[in-house]
Chains A and B, each alone.
Chain A
C-alpha cells in the first residue's frame, strides 16, 4: 500500500464526481487539441497545395475562388478560357512554364485534372518536391491516367485498371452521378506517392483526352439536334464519329485555368516580377488572376481570426473544468476532514496530507488529459475525413505532438492549481476537533 492507494481509494469513493470531472477535462483537452491540430493541418494543407505556381489565371468570380477551384479542386470552374486566351497569355511573357488545366470530369467523386503531359514532371505541389511515382509511369499517350495516392487508395486503383470518367465533379459521397464517358475507357498507368496536398485525391490525364471526349459529345449533341432530313444526309459523316487530336478545333480546346511560373534564378527574389505580371494580366477584365500564395495567406488570416476564437473557447472550457475540479475536490475535502484527521493521528504530516490532496486533483487532470488526447486522435481523424469530404482538403490526421504536449502540461498544471485550495484545507485541518464522535 502506498500514498497512491489512498488517493485512488479517495477517487473511487466518489467515483461519479471523479468520472464527471475527468470527462470534463478530457472534453476540454480534446476540443483544444482538435482545434489546434486542425489549425496547423489546415495551414499546412493549404501551404502544400500551391507549390511552385506563381500565378493562376481562370475565369472564376474571384481570385480566392480561382485558387480553391484550380488548385484545391473545391468545385469545377463554371466558365472556361478559350484557346485564343490561353495562347495570348502564354505568348505574352517569357514564362518559365505555362500549364493549362481543365477541370470538369470526375471519377467516383474524385476530380480529374486534364493537363499537358509535362504537368506531373513540371508542377511541384510542394516547392522543391515534385510528384513521384509509387507505381507505373507518367503519362505518355492520350486516355491514360495517373492516379493520386488518396484517390488510388479510396477507389482501389492500380496500374492496369480501366476506368470511365464522369462528366461533372460530383461531391464525394453524394448520390449524384453525371454522364459517364463509357466510349473512352482510360488506362491507369501510374499511381503517385502521397504529397499531403489536395492533389492526392485527383486523377491526372492529358488535355487532349478530355478535349476529344468532350468534342465527340458536343458533336453528337449537335448531330442529334439537327433536323431529321439533314441528319440523314450527314449520317455518313457523323456515324459515331470518333475523332483524334488532329480533328480538334479551337472551340474544343477549352481550359478552366492556367498555372504560370516566371523564370527565376536560384537565390533571387521573383516577387517584384510576379507583382508586375500580376498587374499586367489583371488589366484584362475577362480573366481572373490570382497569386495562390497570397490568396492562401489571406484565407488563413480570415480563418485564423475565427479559429483563435474557437481556441479561446477551448481554453475557457479547460479553465472551467479546472474550476469543477476545485469544487469537486473542495466539497469532498469538507466531507473528508475526519479521514484527514485520522491520517494525521496515524503519523501523516500536514505536508503529506497536502500532497495527497494535490495528487488527487493532479491525477484527475492527468487522466482527463490522457483521455482527451485519445479522443483528439479520433476527433482529428473524423474532422480530417469530414473536411476532405466537404471541402476537398487533404489534412493530416494526427494530433500535433507539440500542441498535445502543451495542452497536456497546461491541463495538468491547471488541475494541480485547482487542487491547491482543497489541499490547503486538508493541510490546515484541526485534527482534535475532527476526531470527536459524530452525534
Chain B
C-alpha cells in the first residue's frame, strides 16, 4: 500500500483514491483504502473478467456513486462535486478509452476528437486545430473520414486522440486490447502509452490479459480491493 500523500503532492497526483467503498447489494463489495498514481505514472489494473476492474474505473470517472471515500484527479475530488460540475470535471481531467472505442457514429474522426473540447466550451478554431494536431500526432491521415470507414486500428487511434486531446490529468483505458490479437494488442498499448506521455497524463489501464503485465512497471490486482459474496 502506498503512503498517503501530503496535501501538496495530492495536488499534482494523477489520481489519489482514499477510503473508497462501493457495493452491489451483498454480492460484491469494493474497498480501496488508498491508491495513488503520480502525475504521468502508468499503471495496469489487472484481474480476471468480472472482478471489478470496470466498476473501479467507472467510480474513478465519477459515473458510479461510492458509499464513502474520495477520488482526487489532478488535485480535485470528483466525488465531492455533483451534476454538471462533475461532468465538467470529468471532461477536463479524465480521458476514457474503451474496448469497442465508443466512437460516435455518423461523425468524422476530427469531429469525434473535437467533441470533448466542445463540451468544455473551447473556441471553434482552437478546437479544430487541437483536434487536427492530436490526430496528426497519432498518424490519422483522413481526419474528415466518417469513423465507420476507418480501419479498426485507426478507430482506436481516434479514440486515443479523443481521450488525450483535452490534456487530461488521467486517462482510463478499459480493456483496450480485449478484442485484439497479441501483436496488435502490444501496438495498441504502445500508442496509448505514448499518447499519455505526450499529453502528460497518468494512465490506468484495465486488462484481464496476463501478457500485458510485463509491459507495465506497476501492476495492481483489483482483487486486492474486492470482496465477493459478502454477507453482512
Chain A interfacial positions (CB closer than 8 Å to B)? 1-3, 5, 9-10, 12-13, 338-339, 341-352, 431-432, 435-438
Contact = CB atoms under 8 A, between A and B. Distances in A.
B111 interface: yes
A438 B99 CA distance: 10
Contacts of B118: 1-3
Interface in B59-118: 61, 63-64, 83-84, 87-88, 90-92, 96, 98-100, 102, 104-107, 111, 114-116, 118
A335 to B, nearest CB: 11
**Dominant secondary structure at the A interface:** helix
B180 interface: no
B84 A350 contact: yes
Contacts of A431: 58, 63
A431 B54 CA distance: 13
A349 B115 contact: no
A12 B54 contact: no
Contact of B115 (A338, A343, A352): A343
Contacts of B61: 345
Nearest to A12: B106
A339 B83 contact: no
Contacts of B174: 435
| Pairs A-B, 3 closest by C-beta atoms | A347-B91, A347-B119, A349-B84
B4 interface: no
B64 A432 contact: yes
B98 A435 contact: yes
Contacts of B111: 1, 5
Nearest to B59: A432
Contact of B83 (A2, A348, A349): A349
A339 B104 contact: yes
Interface residues of B, number: 35
Contacts of A12: 106
Given A344-B63, A346-B116, 11 more contacts: A1-B114, A13-B106, A338-B102, A344-B87, A345-B96, A351-B83, A431-B63, A435-B58, A436-B54, A437-B99, A437-B175
Given A1-B111, A342-B104, A349 B87 contact: yes
Nearest to A431: B63
Nearest to B114: A1
Given A346-B116, A350-B87, A437 B100 contact: yes
Contacts of B119: 343, 346-348, 352
A1 B54 contact: no
A54 B63 CA distance: 80
A269 to B, nearest CB: 67
A338 B102 CA distance: 8
Contact of A345 (B63, B88, B99): B63
Contact of A9 (B107, B178, B179): B107
